[in-house]
Structure 1
Amino acid sequence: MSFTRTLRAVGGAVVAGALLFGTAPVASADQTRKDQWPLTVFGVDDIWKVSTGKGVTVAVIDDPVDGSHPDLKGNVLPGKSFLDGGTADRPDGKYEHGTAMASLIAGHGHGPGGGDGVKGLAPDAKILPVGIDLGKAATTSYAKPLRYAVDHGAKVVNMSFEDYSDTSPAEQEAVDYARKHDVLVVASSGNTGSSIPRLPSAVPGVLAVGAMDIDLKVWKYSSYGPHIKLLAPGVHIRSAGVETPYRLANGTSDSAAYVSAAAALLRSKFPDLTAGQIANRLAKTAILPDSMKGKKLPDRHYGYGIVNPWQALIKKMPKGSENGPLPALKDGSSNASSKDAQQAAESEKGMSTGVIIGIVGGVVGLLVVVLIVVLVVKKKNGRNGPPPGGPGGYGGPGGPSGFVPHPPHPGHQQQPSAPGAYPSAPPTQPPGR
């Protein structure tokens, strides 16, 4: 059954169950799993046969994460709290947003076979919690937390919060720093239902995610604009909590977490792809409702469509440009291209040295040959003979003029853009009013 048909088939019953049990303080463990309708529509039984996110670290810049939650225990690294300087793997009182996001990404459930509780889309990924004060997101810079995440092994960074202030130079530099280190940064678009850009999702280089419901419609409170790249489930989402074991919520925060988890699945399956190429697979395999077919993409509400992890994992497609649907860095560099440039420079340097040595050697060889010939001619009274070392002497036929240096080492050549790949800077449209 296709992704779209599955959505429609399970929609009414799942949402009704989520609404019913959402009114209770704690849903039963079995019902908690049943409430996770995104796992059903994504088709996780097939997905987890291909990838579970193993070997990938996803940083969650958010409230500190409860690493002792039964559905997360063992999957949460110590991390760092930028609130008190300690670790970020401890619950922070009543604040549970970070725990919820972590569970959607890398929850493993509990009980026999992990059959109870919340399971994340990438259950074998590791969570690097980076604690900040979400209540002060508008006045607290995420620049240092983001750099910390990059420097401590994250390959994907989830930022499920919105900031109303302007992007500071330090924050833009931190996003660029992540990209140069081949880290994919994912952020939620915001929950205002307006076209007013929310940060960090609107920062160039960030993969902005909006929310959709089970009917394939954009959630009415999902913020939108030309920066939106993908949609993901964000309505009636069951996740892990702190005050109570489980919570039910709506929001683009949850949508971003699911896209971060999908990216972790891909980074585990395709470790050689750049962060931009991972985004490329997510965008190229996204689905759209029939009403959106044939329209110019990215759309201000749908982006390139609804994330489809299964197709992103199995579809055969070219790698595409190293930036994918993300704009190129202003200096034109990226992690992959900088490596290529360095290796190319080293190869060139090696070739030049080889040429010089060859030429010098050829000249010396020629002088030796000439000297020997002169001595032989003088000694034999004009009797000619071939120079030692075979016809052509040291340099082969024609001596030094025929010297062919070893070709430069090919190094890592840049993957050519895939047919129909995204331009370095996706087209934009003026924001709606």
Structure 2
Amino acid sequence: MSFTRTLRAVSGAVLAGALVIGTAPAASADYIRDGQWSLGAFGADKIRQQSTGKNVTVAVIDSGVNGNHPDLKGNVLPGKSFAPGGGTADHEDSDDHGTAMAALIAGHGHGPSQADGIMGLAPDAKILPVKTQTSEDTLSGQGFAAPLRYAVDQGAKVVNMSFGQGQIGDDEKSAINYALQKDVLLVAGTGNDGESTPQYPAAAPGVLAVGAVTKNNQVWENSNYGPHTRLLAPGEGIYSAGLGAKYRQADGTSDATAYVSAAAALVRSKFPDLTAGQVANRLTKTAITPDGKSGISTPSPKYGYGTIRPYRALTENIPAGSKYGPLKAPEVQDPASAGHGGAAAGEAGEQKASGSSGIGVPPIVIIGLVLVVIVVLLVVVIVVVRRKKNNGGPPSGGPGGYGDPGGGVGYPPHQPGPYQQQPNPYGSYPSAPPAQPPGQ
């Protein structure tokens, strides 16, 4: 299956048959907003008091975006089209998938008090559209490597990739590594086949893989899964923007991916000093599993760490954690980015390249040095033993020995020291808000 056809398959449009809703008068627009059940589940009104995604750019690598939609106008940058003909990517008029993703992230509604139409989870974020396919649903270039590098170089801090393919090449792997080294959070959908076959880029190291849940927080039946799955988000009956002034309704992990990208934008806006992995850490630590658990230490292949709860991710006291957080670090460093902010080998959560010692010294030299050290230690032990036999040593349990109950310089057994117990990073915090309903 080609890259772009898989992209369409990951969208809810093909599997579930996206319902396109015509140009809407005010009453119909109100119906659209009322149909956004995920906003109520997330507690969007409270979320906007904490963050709106301001000063964060989210790249949407997709089919282009209709930047003139009334719910998106002003929030869409020109971007770039990698499809034949080139140009910008902000005037899409033949494929609504990218527009739908953009609206779930940064839609601001329209009408009095912006009460009509689609409201995104991060309405003040900016969308950088990057078009990778034509209206004929044909492959437009060399995969997603060039589009991803473009998005990173244009300053995107989050990249939404609601598409999938069976495998990726070295160029794509290199582009993913490049994004990670530039501290960009990559979010991708697991796919809509209801199976464990990995789809890329979601299954690639360093990418935050997202599945879908239903309105009752159960895993959507067609959501792909596997050990790479990290988070879930709403993906059933999702209303969003379409072409012209129209709207659409669909199911799929594409929509869920957009919601996670939006949540990441919210966190990056409020906590700009956190790394991409630390942003993911906040999202995973505050997620809730289908059976009501939060803060689990090991992700499930079916649902990862659970469904995102953006309000808690913005308000709970979560230790920053390691650079990569719950993300699997890249296996191979991008040679083109070496020496330019790349990850240091051996850092928490990172994997070294196979066969590398990490210190640039040939293994035979290291073995030789170890043997020399062992020989020297043996000589020292022999000399000390002979001197003790000649001169005698202190009796066992004498002054200064560990067996002397009244002597020595250590703490007495079980005596409390001056240190306090550190807080459990997986538990509750004194500064955390009161417990929220599971959907919040």
Q: What is the deviation of 1:71?
A: 0.4
Q: Which residue of 1 aligns with 2:234?
A: 233
1:248 aligns with 2:235: no
Q: What is the deviation of 1:199?
A: 1.2
Q: Which runs of 4+ in 1 moved over 6 A?
A: 291-296
Letter aligned with residue 282 of structure 1: L
1:142 aligns with 2:153: no
Alignment check: 8 A CA contact 1:137 1:162 kept: no
1:40 aligns with 2:40: yes
User: 2: distance between equivalents of 1:47 and 1:123?
Assistant: 11
Q: CA RMSD in A?
A: 2.7
User: 1: distance between equivalents of 2:155 and 2:298?
Assistant: 33
User: 2: distance between equivalents of 1:317 and 1:336?
Assistant: 25
**What is the SS of the residue equivalent to 1:130?**
strand
Deviations 1:390-432 (A, max 9, x none): xxxxxxxxxxxxxxxxxxxxxxxxxxxx9569xxxxxxxxxxx
Q: Please list, as runs of the form range in 1=range in 2, the aligned pairs for 1:291-370 lying within 5 A after superposition.
A: 297-330=298-331, 335=341
**What is the SS of the residue equivalent to 2:267?**
helix
Deviations 1:152-181 (A, max 9, x none): 0100000001112x2100001100000000
Deviations 1:366-409 (A, max 9, x none): xxxxxxxxxxxxxxxxxxxxxxxxxxxxxxxxxxxxxxxxxxxx
Identity across the alignment (%): 57
CA spacing shift, 1:207–1:293, aligned 2, 3 Å: closer
Q: What is the deviation of 1:113?
A: 1.3
Letter aligned with residue 228 of structure 1: T
More helix by proportion, 1 or 2?
Answer: 1
Alignment check: 8 A CA contact 1:106 1:261 kept: yes
Letter aligned with residue 153 of structure 1: G
Deviations 1:305-360 (A, max 9, x none): 0011000000012100110001223368995856xx9xxxxxxxxxxxxxxxxxxx
The structure number with the bigger radius of gyration is 1
Q: What is the deviation of 1:215?
A: 1.0
1:261 aligns with 2:268: no
CA spacing shift, 1:297–1:76, aligned 2, 3 Å: same
TM-score calculated relative to the size of structure 1 = 0.70
Q: Which residue of 2 aligns with 1:59?
A: 59
CA spacing shift, 1:229–1:124, aligned 2, 3 Å: same
1:104 aligns with 2:143: no
Structure 2 unmatched runs, 5+: 1-15, 348-423, 428-440
Letter aligned with residue 85 of structure 1: G
TM-score calculated relative to the size of structure 2 = 0.69
CA spacing shift, 1:196–1:215, aligned 2, 3 Å: same
User: 2: distance between equivalents of 1:80 and 1:99?
Assistant: 14
Letter aligned with residue 61 of structure 1: I
Alignment check: 8 A CA contact 1:71 1:103 kept: yes
CA spacing shift, 1:291–1:127, aligned 2, 3 Å: closer
CA spacing shift, 1:195–1:310, aligned 2, 3 Å: same
Letter aligned with residue 319 of structure 2: P
Alignment check: 8 A CA contact 1:274 1:336 kept: no
Q: What is the deviation of 1:24?
A: 5.8
Q: Which residue of 1 aligns with 2:368?
A: none
Q: Which residue of 1 aligns with 2:117?
A: 117
Higher RCO, Cα 8 Å, sep 6+: 2
CA spacing shift, 1:250–1:323, aligned 2, 3 Å: same
Deviations 1:139-158 (A, max 9, x none): 85100000000000100000
Letter aligned with residue 37 of structure 2: W
Letter aligned with residue 148 of structure 1: Y
User: 1: distance between equivalents of 2:275 and 2:52?
Assistant: 19
Alignment check: 8 A CA contact 1:138 1:163 kept: no
Q: Which residue of 2 aligns with 1:223?
A: 224
User: 1: distance between equivalents of 2:44 and 2:187?
Assistant: 21
Q: Which residue of 2 aligns with 1:153?
A: 155
Alignment check: 8 A CA contact 1:138 1:162 kept: no
Q: What is the deviation of 1:295?
A: 7.5
1:126 aligns with 2:142: no
- Report which stretch shifted further, 242-251 or 129-138: 129-138
Alignment check: 8 A CA contact 1:58 1:128 kept: yes
Letter aligned with residue 203 of structure 1: A
Q: What is the deviation of 1:25?
A: 4.3
Instruction: Give the length in aligned residue pairs.
Output: 323
Structure 1 unmatched runs, 5+: 1-18, 342-417, 422-433
